[in-house]
Structure 1
């Protein structure tokens, strides 16, 4: 429960810094409309590109499972943002109340009890991703958000992530997103490819090299690795 609360609070802080205080009302500090559901289905579509699903092209392309896990974490940012928007703006919920109902889902129970889950089949993974896409495209109805969160937790388990690994990768990507914002991401001057590697891969490699790093230490490693 504490890790879930920590991730939700980190997402709140990131959204406040990136979009401005009051973003839960649906617009950024620059007045640009926010649509978290669109973010979810567009990122989910990118997730499917981790698979060699095109029957007419790159037939022997292997599944990029490392990228799949990064994309799962990217979608998690937007799912939590939708939870925060709905909870704060519409339901007047505290972070603790949001975490309480999320932790009551069957998917969360699976995420906590799986010590070392294995990857599900590619077809099963793609079907679950497409389920989340459908939920994000449907009009918001009672219970819709709970089902989406439950499906997300189930997808995480199918993608060989337990709660500890989801937390570790999320914190890493959260710090990377902060680093991006601090180095010109919004202005378009940020460099995403570092010495032939995408910044996501650099971040993941840094965590794997030293999984006991603090978030501030990870930020320092990214700063040292960033091409000037």
Structure 2
């Protein structure tokens, strides 16, 4: 099974569990409107805050490259969600069809090569803004959005293996959040001075052969709200 299909399947499962059946129609089981495009461009804005872009504040601060990668993966959740929704609403094909279309895209295929390092800061920010512009279009061009996103992945020193692994880790963390009151507002996001994203990434990287279920157990053991 190719990784594009695996990630789309995981995203479908997460959205089904979080938002309820038929979320692709644009509404959650609680009657809340869903706007994946807004999710994408708002998360992209957070991504830009990984850089000292403000000319009036912390002008010499180093980029937070680790946070950039986490934000890229967060955006990937929303890009895939938009793809799943568009495929269903516009009757473009099955989840398998979506995975096959993604897997043959040139920019996606380039991610099979090893990551080559981070691109220049200003170029990364410009690429983030290209993804934002794609999401702000009235009717999204999925091909352009995906191509721009995969180029951003490459510029963020991620290859397909690292993108997949970080995505699976964040997918498990998102499930953990939902299981521990994230939607209701009583989930604890800072764990002993560290954001849960950082804890997840460390646990996931410390043991290369850790399974997703073992990662969930590690999060459970580390969670201060337990």
- The TM-score normalised by the length of structure 1 is 0.97
Matched, 1:103 2:95: no
Deviation (angstroms), 1:102: 1.2
- Consecutive unaligned residues of structure 2, counting only runs of 5 or more, are none
Per-residue CA distance 1:38-82 (angstroms, 9 max, x = gap):
000000000000001001111111100000000000000000000
Name the CA distance, whole Å, in 2 between partners of 1:116 and 1:76: 17
2:30 match: 30
CA root-mean-square deviation: 1.0
Please name the residue that 1:188 is paired with: 185
Q: Deviations over 1:19-53 (max 9, x none)?
A: 00100000000111100000000000000000010
1:1-228 matched pairs, under 5 angstroms: 2-112=2-112, 114-140=113-139, 144-228=141-225
1:117 CA displacement: 2.1
Q: CA deviation at 1:2?
A: 1.0
Give the Å deviation of 1:89.
2.0
Contact in 1 for aligned 2:103/2:109 (Cα 8 Å):
yes
How far the C-alpha of 1:116 sits from its partner, in A, is 2.8
| Long gaps (5+) in structure 1 | none
Aligned residues: 225
State the alpha-carbon separation in 1 of the partners of residues 155 and 44 from structure 2: 15
Whole-Å separation in 2 of the counterparts to 1:127 and 1:199: 28
Q: 3-state SS of the aligned residue for 2:111?
A: helix
Where do 4+ consecutive residues of structure 1 move more than 2 Å? none
Alpha-carbon distance in structure 2 between the residues aligned to 1:91 and 1:66: 37
